[in-house]
Amino acid sequence: MSTATFTTDTRIRFIGVLASEFTKLVTLRSTWIIAVIMLAASAFVAVAEAENREYTASELEGVGGVDAMLSIFWIVRIGTQLFVAALAVIVITHEFSSGTIQTTVISVPRRLPVLAAKALVVAVVTTVLSLMSSLVQFAVTRPLLDPAGRGVSIADPDIVKAALGDALYLVAVAVFALMLATVVRNAALAITIVLVILYGVIIAGPSLPTIADVPAEYFFLSYAADMTTSALYNPTAAADIVRNLAVTLAWLVLPGAAAAAVFGRRSV
């Protein structure tokens, strides 16, 4: 008598983990609320900035359409980074608070692919939201800039580069927020820390000391990532690209390593 032996491939493909994480994100009501508020805020701030006399006053002929639009993009980005950070934080802390993280790690015993999938999904969704925000900003401000002779085409190379730069910047912020939230596991605490890091440089930057003759604000994520991504369309920002890129990567790699260690070993 022979005995049949059956084997089961228990390996879980990463694409399946990725699909699961994407489904979790898009089915969260918070995701859609944040997305809608982010796009609405983008439109509101863009219009307010475009109506500023600096861009519409006929006597200021030196302000071109491209420069005006780039400035609007930058101003809006300062605010929208809060929304993508909140979205990234919710992605992980919601599972911890609801207890669904236990189901996740049971379904996918190897935890690092779960964290990697969350990071990738957050990056993709953030990119989409950022590009949509750029389109919204362009749509609502072009009619305001045109009467002043400062209209610009959406196909202008600098506008396209600025939109891509904004997306890359916001992806960096979102991934950092996700990794930080994975470590602290508390949404309120994670968002508070992210706010201090992102906006602290704006508030306290001028009063911070220098480090090796370099202003301390240059080592904040918001400054380094801003200068790194702005180098796509601003030659001045490219002057210290090596330092700014290194600082930006450090803000992503170090929290990422901590999150991987904590998420991989800590009980859920």
- pTM here is 0.86
Express as a percent the part of the chain with pLDDT over 70: 87
φ and ψ at residue 201, rounded to 5 degrees: -65, -30
> Could you read off the pLDDT of 15-71 as tens digits, one per residue?
888 888 899 899 989 999 999 999 999 999 999 888 875 554 444 444 567 788 888
For 221-249, the pLDDT digits (tens) are: 988 999 999 998 888 888 889 999 999 99
Confidence at residue 5, expressed as pLDDT on a 0 to 100 scale: 43
Mean pLDDT within 171-195: 95
Domain ranges of the chain: 14-192
Cα–Cα distance, 94 to 191 (Å, whole number) = 13
Lowest mean pLDDT among 98-107, 143-152, 195-204, 210-219: 143-152
Mean pLDDT of the chain: 84
The mean pLDDT value for 91-116 works out to 84
